Chain A
């Protein structure tokens, strides 16, 4: 009978640290979090290490999970994050593209095996796609886009495009969260030595097939994680003007380029650059809004930026109500002048 118990606890930190159980309070003993990491062909997506940050706020044991063609490679890198017990690596090409039909079964199998109390994924395209499916399979009401963790069952998240902040208490036995990246910084790769262990692979049959992808190539910083973002709106007038005005500004500042929905809908900028409720949420050190009026849906994506600056020819544009620094003027004159000034200094 003892062996059966040991079997059920196998791989869990609880067994390994049995001697220290008495020292810990019963809560941290019970808490165990599975953090879902993202990778691409063995390359760990470092922003997904924000899930470890969130897991550390909960306390208790932390395991990571990474799956794909060369998941073990990414797992070995993630294992260096300090304070992590185990990284489950599932090497199987079937999971490489993160197709939810297979990935959800993979996660459910590993969550059940590990008896985790918490499961955390980033609120990325991947997390948004896969985690609700996992939640339904486990009969859990997921908590999306969490910006703060109060305790092991109480979480904070924005609703109504960030116009209200709600604190909710979950009564589910497993808490499934997706977290907002700008609220949980990625943990650094340190000198940790988590055990890399093969996770359970249920080898599910896929009912969907990945055909192709078309990703926007850019040498500029990634929009979601950049420390500076310059964003263009409808005021840019055309794609040519957008490129001619925004790109030199971005390069002078070492900033990522973003756009308002109006600029994206008008074809001035690619969809993937959209900042707002329905696009990316950013919180850089500097957000410079150029020719953007500041609709609430746009503000939802950037109002947690440290410093907001705005250039707009409409003195009454709502963006000026949230901007720390505002310049009322014609962007076609002001922005090139600003680029010159930055280059000189």
Chain B
């Protein structure tokens, strides 16, 4: 089996515990001064790549784990986190503050990165918790004409470059098999991401971090979707509390829910 060269795309997003606020101009969500961190599904991707190496799950071994992120200067923080978790190196595709890429552009950028890094396995999160699009992994697989396994909850490696993946689907799970090179997107049940400890955070500072730009990668940030407006969802008015079960049942009847 080929040695794995794993590419792990990661995204810096508003922390999952923060309730986002729409800005006054209704052009987007307030990001200034808001806590950001690595997209939670991307943590699963990094963890999976590191576990494949640590647990020697792939017969051909793991030759390289490279994390890549496109974003403003602060995206370096999430790349350092990935390296502290065990990625060997990072690539920062520098964007201007506030510049955003659509999933198709990210997929095109990753295709170039895959070719340059000679990756044979790309592990991505199933969606980013900001845009909730859930597209990049599938788009990348399509552009590369590689097989894809989305929403993975288990990844196993066999002889002859075969990869068996259990996927979370509506109503249960399904298992598929494909061959490297391939694209996998991670679901919640795949693993439990580790916390980077202080020695590893210190070590990560010495790991290699390359910087590049979309231009150098030959990718144009062409936007197909124009944001007309962003609004808060209509607020829900919490109703009054009831005292007992009788009150609950009769109130639900009044509301026509029972």
Inter-chain CA distance A106–B16, complex, in Å, is 37
Check A323 for interface membership: any CB of B closer than 8 A: yes
Q: Within 8 Å CB of B169, what residues of A? A: 125, 213, 272
Complex-state Cα separation, A321 to B233, whole angstroms: 15
Asked if B135 and A142 sit within 8 Å, CB to CB, the answer is yes
Contact (A163, B233) CB under 8 Å given A216-B172, A338-B245: yes
Given A133-B142, A133-B148, A136-B143, A285:B257 Cβ within 8 A: yes
Known pairs A158-B132, A169-B226; A133 contacts B255 (CB<8 A)? no
Within 8 Å of chain A (Cβ to Cβ): is B212?
Answer: no
Whether A166 and B229, one on each chain, are in contact in the complex, defined by CB atoms closer than 8 angstroms, is yes
Nearest-Cβ distance from residue B161 to partner chain A, whole angstroms: 12
* Shortest distance between the CB of B232 and any CB in chain A (Å): 7
Contacts of B131 in A (CB 8 A): 159
Which residues from B are CB-within-8-Å of A296? Answer: 19
Q: Are A327 and B142 in contact (CB under 8 A)?
A: no
Q: Tally the A-B contacts, defined by beta carbons under 8 Å.
A: 251
Does the CB pair B135–A124 fall under 8 Å?
no
Assess whether B238 is in contact with A168, with CB atoms less than 8 Å apart: no
A69 to B240, CA, bound (A): 53
- Say yes or no: A167-B227 contact (C-beta < 8 A), given A161-B129, A215-B171, A307-B255: yes
Interface membership of B231, Cβ < 8 A: yes
**A207–B179 contact, CB under 8 A?**
yes
A249 to B110, CA, bound (A): 49
Majority DSSP secondary structure for residues of B touching A: mixed
Residues facing A in B210-242 (CB within 8 A) are 223-233, 236, 238-242
B141 CB-CB contact with A under 8 Å: yes
Residues on A with C-beta less than 8 A from B150 are 100, 128-129
User: Which residues of B have CB within 8 Å of A277?
Assistant: 129, 132
Interchain CA distance A132-B131 in the complex, whole Å? 14
Complex interface: chain A residues within 8 A of B255 (CB): 307, 324-325
Q: Is the CB of A214 within 8 A of B19?
A: no
Check if A326 is an interface residue, CB within 8 A of chain B. Answer: yes
A160 touches B130 (CB 8 A): yes
Q: Which of B129, B231, B240 has the most CB of A within 10 A?
A: B129
Closest A residue to B172 by CB, please name it: A215
In Å, the complex CA distance between A171 and B236 comes to 34
Q: Tell me which residues from 290 to 345 in chain A have a Cβ below 8 Å from any Cβ of chain B.
A: 296-297, 303, 306-309, 311, 320-329, 334, 337-338, 341-342, 345
Closest-CB distance, A243 to chain B (whole angstroms) = 18
Given the interface pairs A208-B176, A210-B176, A307-B252, the reply to whether A320 lies near B227 with Cβ below 8 Å is no
* B228 touches which of A125, A136, A167, A342 (Cβ 8 Å): A167
| Contact A145 B251, beta carbon cutoff 8 Å | no
| Docked complex Cα distance between A135 and B151 (Å) | 19
Q: Do A160 and B29 have beta carbons less than 8 Å apart?
A: yes
Binds A, one of B3-11, B76-84, B99-107: B99-107
Q: Answer yes or no: A144 CB below 8 A from chain B CBs.
A: yes
B177 CB-CB contact with A under 8 Å: yes
Smallest beta-carbon distance A205→chain B, Å? 11
B174 lies within 8 A of chain A by Cβ: yes
With A136-B143, A208-B178, A323-B239 as known contacts, state yes or no: A141 contacts B225, CB within 8 Å. Answer: yes
Whether A163 contacts B248 by the Cβ 8 Å rule is: no
* Chain A residues within an 8 Å CB radius of B141: 100, 133
Given contacts A129-B138, A136-B143, A272-B168, contact A341 B174 (CB under 8 A): no
Contact indicator per residue, chain A 150-165, by CB within 8 Å of chain B (1) or not (0): 0000100011111111
Residues of B within 8 A of A285 (CB): 256-257
Residues of B within 8 A of A270 (CB): 172
Quick check: A166 and B230 within 8 Å, CB to CB?
A: yes
Report yes or no: A325 in contact with B242, Cβ–Cβ below 8 A. yes
B60 at interface (Cβ–Cβ under 8 A)?
Answer: no
Interface flag for A211 (CB, 8 Å): yes
Report the nearest B residue to A38, measured CB to CB.
B170
Q: Judge whether A141 and B242 touch: CB under 8 Å.
A: no
How near does chain B come to A68, taking the closest CB pair, in angstroms? 15
* Of the residues A130, A272, A297, A341, contact of B246 by C-beta under 8 Å: A341
CB distance from B112 to the nearest CB of A (A): 14
Give a binary string over A112-136; 1 marks a CB under 8 Å from any B CB, 0 the rest. Answer: 0000000000001110111111111
Closest CB of chain A to B143's CB: distance in Å?
5
Cβ B231 vs Cβ A165 within 8 A: yes
Whether the pair A338, B142 counts as a contact (CB closer than 8 A) is no
Do residues A327 and B239 form an inter-chain contact, with CB atoms below 8 A? no
CA A272 – CA B189 in complex, angstroms?
A: 11
Determine if A266 is an interface residue (Cβ-Cβ < 8 Å). no
Query: In the complex, which residues of chain A have a beta carbon less than 8 angstroms from the beta carbon of B201?
Result: none
On whether A164 and B22 interact (CB within 8 A), knowing A144-B135, A261-B188, A277-B132, the answer reads yes
B139 within 8 A of A: yes
User: Closest chain B residue to A124 by CB distance?
Assistant: B170
What's the minimum C-beta distance from A119 to chain B, rounded to whole angstroms?
14
Task: Tell me which residues across on chain B come within 8 A of A169, comparing CB atoms.
Answer: 225-226, 228
B209 within 8 A of A: no
Tell yes or no: A31 within 8 A of B by CB: no
**B residues within 8 Å of A by Cβ?**
14, 16, 19-20, 22, 29, 102-104, 107, 126-127, 129-143, 145-151, 153, 164, 167-179, 187-189, 223-233, 236, 238-249, 251-252, 255-258
